[in-house]
Structure 1
Amino acid sequence: MKFESLIFSIILLMGCNNYLNIKKNIINNYSFLNKKSIEKTIHDWNFLIKNASKKYNIEEKLIKSIIYAESSGNPYAKSKSNAIGLMQIKPSAAGLEIYRLNGKKGQPSVQELYNPKININIGTSYINLIQKKNLLGIKNKEIMRYATIVSYVNGTSAFLKIFSKNRNKAIKIINSMTIETFFKYVKKHPSIQASQYLEKVIRIYNLI
């Protein structure tokens, strides 16, 4: 029994060490980030973030992390793929989806998405949709956070398909994984262009 306990302890420690190595590598890769600069950058939006957090039951740290990673706190940021504002909302994708969810016709205008309040509201509502509907069933809170981050930038369907075309089966597979195996699986998968983004958001999240 003592020998079996020793083996179990060694395996457990190896798992913990691997998980710690993931976090250590993330910190090393994004050492240019620091808490002071992040807080200064998003300071003007704290009130809006707090309100959206309460409204949609999404943790403030996650909203802040995505804002900083997506736009560095610039409300007028616009990508080549027409992602707009603080949370880089695409009018015809996340914007359209949230409009439909709220019973609105059409999609948000570019001008609306340049408005920090509207942008943060739509972005946080989209995170809520991802977690409370699209990824519903994922048990581990940290894996849920990682899955949300990847889904935010790639879309939930694309994310789940790397595990299975069947949503329920995909969720079941994810629930069978450790944090380490999940992270490695997502990072190595060629159809998901989010490994660096995921690492960056995690680093920001751990700083604030």
Structure 2
Amino acid sequence: MKFRWFIILALFLAGCAGKHDYREPAWDPTKPTQRAMRWMPISQQAGQAWGVSPRLITAIIAVESGGNPTIVSKSNAIGLMQIKASTAGKDVWRHMGWRGQPSDSELKNPERNISTGTAYLSILEHGILAGINDPQTMQYALIVSYANGAGALLRTFSSNRQSAIEKINDMSPDEFREYIVNNHPAPQAPRYLWKVTQAMDAI
């Protein structure tokens, strides 16, 4: 009996020791944020049009592409805000009443890329994430949802959307962030949230 409890304790401690600190390796936001700031006039214009913070837009640019408008990921995420045409791009096109999705060349255009990424943030805020009351918590939710999907974020709290929103509203922003760190199924989510908030602080 004692031996069985020893094994359970050992497994528990191994699990705790194996939990990766999302703040390691260290990340300096200075250079990518400076490069992203070059696009601030476009970010301000898009932010005003869609009701999204230009600081948030610029921080996402810093983390996603380091301010490089021509970068393309292995999963075909394109440009400054790393838009996937078949997912976020298609959602924005549908929201605008357009058919299809943006082309690769459109998404390599800085103005079109930032406009599309900003529109997607607005769609998330006023769509599936609508009902989150605290502005800081909403900002955290937008950041995590931008990278890993709003559905995955809400399912971290409940399989029922309304219940998830209610649970989120019962938390302070710091409690929400801590919950994401400890419970989000995507291991990169806490680090992405940390990096974007670091970049926002550097702006």
Report the TM-score, using the length of structure 1 for normalisation: 0.82
Q: Which amino acid aligns with 2:190?
A: S
Contact conserved, 2:22 with 2:190, CA < 8 A, in 1?
no
Q: Which amino acid aligns with 2:193?
A: L
Give the unaligned 5+ runs of structure 1.
1-24
Aligned to 2:52: 58
**Alpha-carbon distance in structure 2 between the residues aligned to 1:39 and 1:199:** 14
Cα shift at 1:134: 1.6
Aligned to 1:15: none
Change (3 A) 1:96 1:31: closer
- Check if 1:171 corresponds to 2:165: yes
State the Cα deviation string for residues 63-92 of structure 1 (Å, max 9, x = none): 000010100000011111111100000011
Cα shift at 1:179: 2.2
Cα shift at 1:26: 8.8
Contact conserved, 1:27 with 1:203, CA < 8 A, in 2?
no
- Counting only pairs closer than 5 Å after superposition, residues 1-208 of structure 1 correspond to structure 2 as 30=26, 32-34=28-30, 37-192=31-186, 193-208=188-203
**Alpha-carbon distance in structure 1 between the residues aligned to 2:130 and 2:147:** 18
| Structure 1 residue matching 2:78: 3-state secondary structure | coil
**Alpha-carbon distance in structure 2 between the residues aligned to 1:178 and 1:40:** 31
**Alpha-carbon distance in structure 2 between the residues aligned to 1:31 and 1:38:** 10
Give the unaligned 5+ runs of structure 2.
1-20
**Alpha-carbon distance in structure 2 between the residues aligned to 1:84 and 1:28:** 26
Structure 1's consecutive aligned runs of 4 or more residues displaced over 6 angstroms after TM superposition are 25-29
Report the TM-score, using the length of structure 2 for normalisation: 0.84
Change (3 A) 1:154 1:26: closer
Q: More displaced, 43-52 or 66-75?
A: 43-52
**Alpha-carbon distance in structure 2 between the residues aligned to 1:170 and 1:191:** 15
Cα shift at 1:190: 5.0
**Alpha-carbon distance in structure 1 between the residues aligned to 2:26 and 2:202:** 11
Change (3 A) 1:31 1:100: closer
> Identity rate of aligned residues, in percent?
40
